[in-house]
């Protein structure tokens, strides 16, 4: 590993890992036993994908997007010793909240989970007169306390930073519309209290088609950014509008540590784009959609959990120093 690179975070020697296949030259590779979470894991699940996991106690916990057999989008807590074999609660998360108007469940999807200071915060795409960013916190993945929605509708892909910036909570998000949004830039916002958000700044727009077509229609932040001495490492998804519909791939960017709306570098190539049968076939074909990453600062390993074809959940591995090098080498800025 690059000796000058500092990766922040707690050691995670028990994170899921598989070595790069012999002779494979790309910066990220897929777990050979993908998908790690099958669609019918729960008695009533149609699909389990676009989900978030974090280290918890002596293993891992997570918040999972499960679409049920009515095709309702619901969120479920789950636990795992090794990050690969998951016990997901068949019952949906019942968020506790002070305001029944906000607390009334409509739908929820694409969760992220972020540890900040003393608790886990969950952000997700929350139905409130259209999609917006819901927020809740938990300490045990049993009781979840719902807060105010971060923004007015319509918004998706709310992703918190794991520490305060300028003394405030900080979040990336992606203003959108009521449907299958055909546009989308990533923005940055801050809040002193997790309720009132401001200091909105533009981060990134889709790329020009000629420069990087996989991200030319819309983009959205993926997992919680990883702090390194080279900047915040952000995995983000990008969408190509092909003659056969949307294609969701993901790449990487480096954001300035102090002012994260300033982008240092952004990959012109994708890291992962739909290629395997479980990514190309499913309820929505050709989708790879990352929502969580586990990393170990000591070894530089990173494991990205990503939804595959809106149906199952896969894992991809890489080394953070190589992904940073890739981001700079293929930079389109
Ligand atoms: C987006 C979100 C994601 C989904 C993707 C592909 O707009 O709804 O949950 O994975 O579309 O269908």
- Decide if 301 contacts 319 (C-beta within 8 A): yes
- 199 sits in which H/E element: strand 198-204
d(CA 57, CA 112): 18
- Average pLDDT of 34-56? 98
- Decide if 255 contacts 203 (C-beta within 8 A): yes
Q: How confident is the model at residue 30, as a pLDDT?
A: 98
User: How many angstroms is it from 4 CA to the middle of ligand 1?
Assistant: 38
Strands 95-97 and 144-146: parallel
pLDDT per position as a tens digit, 316-330: 999 999 999 999 999
Q: How confident is the model at residue 3, as a pLDDT?
A: 77
- Average pLDDT of 8-13? 98
* Tokens 């293929």 -> residue: 330
User: How many angstroms is it from 30 CA to the middle of ligand 1?
Assistant: 21
- Average pLDDT of 272-289? 98
Pocket of ligand 1 (CB under 6 A): 50, 109-110, 180, 248, 284, 287, 289, 307, 310
| Cβ-Cβ contacts under 8 Å for 138 (sequence gap 6 or more) | 119, 120, 122, 144, 145
- Decide if 197 contacts 210 (C-beta within 8 A): no
Judged on CB neighbours under 10 Å (0-12, 13-18, 19+), 198 is exposed
Residue 98's pLDDT band (boundaries 50, 70, 90)? confident
Global pTM reads 0.98
* Mutation probe of ligand 1 site: the residue of 284, 309, 311 with most atoms within 8 A of C-beta: 284
As given in the structure block, the two tokens for residue 267 are 């990959």
As given in the structure block, the two tokens for residue 33 are 């036993």
pLDDT per position as a tens digit, 121-151: 999 999 999 999 999 999 999 999 999 999 9
Provide the percentage of residues in the chain whose pLDDT is more than 90: 99
């Amino acid at each position: 590993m690059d000796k000058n690179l500092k990766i922040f975070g707690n050691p995670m020697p028990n994170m899921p890992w598989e070595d790069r296949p012999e002779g494979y030259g790309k910066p990220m590779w897929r777990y050979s036993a993908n998908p790690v979470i099958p669609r019918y894991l729960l008695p009533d699940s149609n699909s389990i994908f676009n989900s978030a996991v974090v280290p918890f106690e002596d293993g891992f916990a997570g918040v999972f997007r499960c679409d049920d057999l009515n095709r309702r989008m619901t969120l479920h807590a789950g636990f795992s010793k090794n990050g690969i074999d998951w016990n997901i609660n068949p019952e949906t998360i019942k968020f506790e909240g002070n305001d029944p108007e906000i607390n009334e469940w409509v739908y929820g999807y694409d969760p992220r989970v972020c540890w900040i200071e003393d608790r886990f915060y969950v952000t997700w795409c929350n139905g409130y007169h259209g999609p917006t960013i819901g927020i809740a916190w938990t300490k045990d993945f049993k009781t979840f306390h719902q807060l105010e929605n971060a923004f007015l509708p319509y918004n998706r892909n709310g992703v918190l930073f794991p520490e305060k910036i300028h003394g405030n909570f900080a979040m990336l998000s992606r203003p959108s519309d009521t449907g299958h949004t055909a546009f989308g830039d990533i923005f940055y916002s801050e809040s002193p209290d997790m309720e009132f958000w401001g200091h909105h700044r533009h981060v990134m727009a889709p790329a020009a088609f000629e420069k990087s077509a996989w991200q030319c229609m819309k983009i959205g932040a993926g997992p919680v950014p990883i702090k390194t001495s080279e900047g915040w490492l952000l995995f983000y998804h990008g969408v190509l509008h092909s003659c056969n519909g949307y294609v969701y791939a993901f790449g990487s960017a480096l954001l300035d540590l102090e002012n994260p709306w300033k982008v240092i570098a952004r990959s012109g190539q994708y890291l992962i784009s739909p290629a395997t049968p479980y990514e190309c076939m499913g309820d929505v074909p050709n989708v790879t959609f990352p929502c969580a990453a586990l990393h170990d600062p000591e070894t530089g390993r990173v494991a990205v959990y990503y939804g595959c074809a809106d149906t199952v959940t896969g894992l991809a591995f890489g080394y953070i120093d190589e992904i940073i090098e890739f981001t700079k080498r293929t930079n389109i800025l």
